[in-house]
A and B are shown apart, each in its own frame.
Chain A
């Protein structure tokens, strides 16, 4: 890793060399490892070291963003010159006001030294332990186990100088027998909190030695585990909880601020500083994270901003800029749903005839303004009858408005958990959603898998 002094000094040198009206430099470094296993055998084990420099220059409101992973002195100078010439060749964006100015950054630790002890042999021994536990039950294990150290440094010409080091670990597991599969996952900044036995036990409970039955789709009472709730809430974040979607008129929040949109049991917010989640002190423009409340007791309240969307409305950024260049808007990445006062068992007991869902798979948007999405259930779908889980079900397709579902929430669990699929594409920055389980009285299933 590069360290605070070296990375900030590198970025400050770039800012000093720039002749643009405003310049921002972001350095993102990654040292990570990922092990994948399937059928209780390791088939992929890799490590990666990389860094990315992202430059944003503004000349007369004309903006250019350039990215590279070649950061020797000469290449960086060339990159800056190229950024300046590209910016000059553009039309001004009159809606651009300014890059952000410095604000005090909360001092929080997002790095655990324990991550250094996760060498290949230790990881292999932990996975081997898992294989032993599950083979005793006649099950096969698939999953992935990944850990990383990330550094984010941001310097801009208005005085922002931010640096943060992150550690992260995620483990997700699918256990199978010839009939069923079960899922569990773990995410944290501290690898010492990972308990392989507990994660195996959670997934094992879903793998019954019984064939799944097919059920006719329709509207059912459902109990959704936090994994499934996380998927729904994350979609709301993507579709409507941010300023860009509202400004473009494509958010379900448009013309609804102050209105009761979902059940008054529902409170959803974003908080990068809450230690129950994966804390992030500042966004990718170096602006400190502020708590933003989306639904407060069912009422639509506010949305997240980055500096561009805030500038359009004469407001301040809420600290939700994503890694530039970002055209999708300041989507919240530290979502929370407030817990209730039920237990998962109480929820199941209250169901006359309904469906228990562990998680959803391959969800996508059908109607954005109504927050209608579709997807399949996966790795643990069960029929609940007379207050008890009776039988495993074949996976079902749902097509449902998330807002409508949240309007029909009748019970919310007291316990919450942090959920993350650990999805990493171009750059690793693991995020998590902290949510309870919920019971919904009326959830639309539109199809059934034939397997």
Chain B
């Protein structure tokens, strides 16, 4: 393989391109979905190919193919070269690509049990056992379980002289129970909605989730929700559990701080951001107790890796410090806009996609409260858990979320369960209203599999560390009829 790669890099040098990188990626996927006692999907996928990125003058070109041999690689390089040359003809802006120290390294996810060595039977048994427990409750109309494992082997090489090999293993699982009565559809999930919770860990992670012991609880809660009262409509105090807060961080901080969005290159699809480069260092994003880091080195985080897809070593960087925005997610091409070095966030969804700035693990640092203390300290409000829906505008400023379940808080105690809870807000106003964050004992990583961005669409696996937190004066119960 090294010979094939060197051949391309040599051709690139002969053609005097400014820069070339090549990524060869083999990705193995196993996804199992069980629904109402049946295997709804059992997907085994193997995907293999390479992509070449070329910078000629001020034009980028990218081409890729699933055939790996010398001739095809040369054809693909030439295609990328022609594309870059054509693009550079009309581009007036100078592309600045930050130099980096060449690296020759190997990185592997640390794990105890390779999820691909666990038998299919064992995985199915786990999901069927949960399914059976959930469906003991006859109000449950849909029982679902999901378990997935991914292994990505990646070689990155560039004309900078880097040659990096990585093997990243990810897995996770989740279950859900849907109760339906008339027009009322209520869902409860564990450990998180939309598939579960995922990590760069081995099968020991799935075992640690303890799915079976939570199956009965979620089926009962889904049924109780049918009888629960609707979420009231008012401005009140809001406490979010860690999983919902993870998505709140994702949508209203993570995407907003991507420098490519800020510079406008995502406008045509996902949108831009209310943040401007000059706000770094002085913008009061959140209240003083809010500290956020982008940490691609966090062990087990779904957004953890050794090197990004530009050959930059994974980093931990402060993003919000005591409420002030101090850094953004950057790449080698964009970082100079804020006078910084790339913090290594360029990742591509496979060999056939170009790297984009993606979240790593965007973590809200723990505070010093307990969840119980936070509730006790709240006279009136709601406690909302587990995401059900999300929406945010193209500048990441006006958001609205729905959660699966909630409870009203009165005089420091959780009282009535509420159904179809929603809340809405304006990003900086919301984060500046945060007055309590739970401590390390309540803090955990949430791995999200479905972060979409780019054209053609790319799905990134990202992580968010969060503990429950409290926000004041939030509009809840958005639609009342």
Contact = CB atoms under 8 A, between A and B. Distances in A.
Interface of A: 32, 34-39, 41-51, 63-70, 82, 86, 89-91, 93, 95, 120-121, 123-124, 127-128, 131, 140, 142-144, 146, 172-174, 176, 181, 248-250, 252, 325, 327, 361-370, 372, 374-376, 378, 395, 397, 399-400, 422-425, 428, 444, 446-451
Contacts of A89: 120-121, 124
Given A65-B42, A143-B268, A325-B43, A45 B66 contact: no
B54 to A, nearest CB: 10
Q: How large is the interface on B (under 10, 10 to 19, 20 to 34, 35 or more residues)?
A: 35 or more
Interface in B458-481: 458-459, 478-479
B398 A397 contact: yes
Given A327-B41, A451-B274, A47 B268 contact: no
Contacts of B400: 374, 397, 399, 446-447
B479 A372 contact: yes
A45 B269 CA distance: 15
19 contacts: A44-B455, A45-B86, A47-B83, A48-B352, A90-B124, A91-B37, A142-B267, A174-B268, A250-B178, A325-B41, A361-B394, A362-B392, A365-B389, A369-B184, A378-B271, A397-B400, A422-B455, A424-B456, A449-B398
A451 B392 CA distance: 13
B355 to A, nearest CB: 10
A366 B479 contact: yes
A346 to B, nearest CB: 30
Nearest to B350: A426
A410 B142 CA distance: 38
Closest 4 CB pairs of A and B: A46-B62, A425-B457, A376-B393, A325-B41
A115 B295 CA distance: 44
Interface in B86-122: 86-87, 89-93, 120-121
Interface in B114-149: 120-121, 124, 128, 141-142
B273 to A, nearest CB: 10
A91 B38 contact: yes
Contacts of A368: 185
B180 interface: yes
B434 interface: no
Contacts of B264: 38-39, 140, 142
Contact of B479 (A48, A95, A444): A444
Interface string B368-404: 0000000000000000000001111111011010100
A36 B455 contact: yes
Contacts of A399: 400, 422, 478-479
A374 B389 contact: yes
A44 B39 contact: no
A172 B352 contact: no
Interface in B248-305: 263-269, 271, 274
A36 B265 contact: yes
A210 B367 CA distance: 45
Contact of A249 (B60, B141, B266, B389): B141
Interface stretch (B44-52, B206-214, B409-417, B435-443): B44-52
Contact of A362 (B124, B180, B391): B391
